[in-house]
Amino acid sequence: MTSHNQELFDQSQKLIPGGVNSPVRAFKSVGGTPLFFKRGKGAYVWDADDKQYIDYVNSWGPMIVGHCHPEVVKAVQAAAAEGLGFGAPTAAELEIAETLCKILPSLEMVRLVSSGTEATMTAIRLARGFTGRSRIIKFEGCYHGHSDGLLVKAGSGALTFGQPSSSGVPAEIAALTTVLDYNDAAGLEKAFAEYGNEIAAVIVEPVAGNMNLILPKREFLDAMRKLCTKHGAVLILDEVMSGFRVGLQGAHGHYGIKPDLITLGKVMGGGLPAAAFGGRRDIMQCLAPLGAVYQAGTLSGNPVAVAAGLTTLKLVQALGFYDRLTQLAKQMTEGLTAVAKKHGIPFSAQSIGSMFGLYFSATAPTSYAEVMASDKAAFNRFFHAMLAEGVYLAPSAFEAGFVSAAHSDADIAATIAAADKVFAAWK
């Protein structure tokens, strides 16, 4: 019997490049046919063939309270009934700005946009406008959306396809992006010593989630803060993925590092397109209409997306919310590590808050080079075997995974049991 996923994929490829609207969804890295989803509820998603999966992709991060949380759905329906969009300010935008600034004290001012790409792209422009400098520093394997200057040695889908730097980015633009090694404080020190007065911004994922999960070293974070302050560069912490995931105050709250600007998306939109950037008042005041740095968007602050985001942000502030997620993710990574060890498979796993990384290497990687050295073929095999067991992991060895508040202890236990079965048949 033909699978409906296959039929849909065959048809989609005739009209949509690669059959998908975002490359990493195409299963190119792991091989096979992408799943077409028709429904999600709580911790589960159902594909076009009605097969149920425990979902650890969580729409690539946003669904921290699970799919179709009744309060989020109710708020979205209520907002939609009042108007789908006005292209004008609303009281709800003020409310979400107040909520974001209250939760994240580093936000003195905030601007809403519709996607993480917009947030990072504009934060870079703002840093350049503020400093009057052009050069930016990013780190290999970090992904900050798909604007030209940031698609240089990037992670996520770009890395998945072995083309971390995109064709179509003019060399003149790429030349303004200096790429350094993640977690290499000495490399950063050297770059600042050489051309510190040219650097407008350092942009970084303070917990890297687009080359699998890589945790930052303390000295790396401290060096970034110290050097940006010393040389007058803007430190942009890209928390599109880690924000409200690592903990309520994101990675910068967890590690106690003060950013100049942060970018947010995913969780803060509750599954709908809402994102933001913000930070120091003196920098944010350079934005139009106050200042000369331009940014605009018809869908910015869209009331339906804001309703989903506000409700999600209300839910994540519940007492013990992140303790529970942290515990669940730990249960999962420890359980998977134990079953792999039992079957003698070189495997490691780690988590921070509700984000986790799984690696087919004996120890958890701390750099891009170490991630690249892990056994990708083993991951791909594991991915498909787990899929057959009803567990949906990210279809790439270069993406972090996520647990949500909808996952139960039983879901985690079922996932570990599935991995036990998969590893038992591994030889």
Contacting residues toward ligand HOZ, per CB under 6 A: 22, 24-25, 60, 156, 210, 399
Bond from prior residue into 289 cis (ω within 30 degrees of 0): yes
Backbone angles phi and psi of 127, in degrees to 5: -65, -40
Q: Nearer to ligand HOZ by C-beta: 116 or 335?
A: 116
* Helix 303-316 and helix 70-82, axial crossing angle in degrees, nearest 10: 150
Would you state the structure tokens that stand for residue 21, as one six-digit string?
């609207």
Q: Residue 332, class by beta-carbon neighbours within 10 Å (0-12 exposed, 13-18 middle, 19+ buried)?
A: buried
Least distance (Å) between residue 146 CB and ligand HOZ: 9
Least distance (Å) between residue 266 CB and ligand HOZ: 9
Q: Point out the catalytic residue in the list 55, 184, 238, 260.
A: 238
Least distance (Å) between residue 289 CB and ligand HOZ: 31
Q: Nearer to ligand HOZ by C-beta: 130 or 277?
A: 277
Q: Nearer to ligand HOZ by C-beta: 225 or 376?
A: 376
Q: Nearer to ligand HOZ by C-beta: 58 or 183?
A: 58
Rounded-to-integer distance, Cα 303 and Cα 84, Å: 7
DSSP strand pairing (355-359 vs 37-41): unpaired
Least distance (Å) between residue 140 CB and ligand HOZ: 16
Closest by CA to 126, choosing from 196, 197, 200, 178, is 200
Say whether 266 is catalytic: yes
Residue 183: how many CA atoms within 13 Å on its side-chain side?
A: 15
Q: Nearer to ligand HOZ by C-beta: 5 or 156?
A: 156
Q: Point out the catalytic residue in the list 44, 53, 143, 392.
A: 143
Q: Point out the catalytic residue in the list 44, 266, 322, 392.
A: 266
Say whether 260 is catalytic: no
Q: Nearer to ligand HOZ by C-beta: 240 or 364?
A: 240
Number of H helices, E strands in the chain: 15, 14
Least distance (Å) between residue 69 CB and ligand HOZ: 20
Q: Which residue is nearest to ligand HOZ (CB)?
A: 22
CA 233, 133, 182: angle at the middle one, nearest 5? Answer: 50
Cα→Cα distances 204→58, 138, 184, 216, 301, Å: 23, 6, 12, 10, 25
Would you state the structure tokens that stand for residue 94, as one six-digit string?
């003020």
Least distance (Å) between residue 164 CB and ligand HOZ: 13
The CB density around residue 170, as the number of other CB atoms within 10 Å, is 9
Q: Nearer to ligand HOZ by C-beta: 148 or 189?
A: 148
Backbone angles phi and psi of 401, in degrees to 5: -110, 165
Are 207 and 242 spatial neighbours (Cβ–Cβ below 8 Å)? yes
Say whether 322 is catalytic: no
Beta strands in 280-352 (DSSP E): 348-352
Least distance (Å) between residue 410 CB and ligand HOZ: 28
Catalytic residue numbers, as ranges? 143, 238, 266
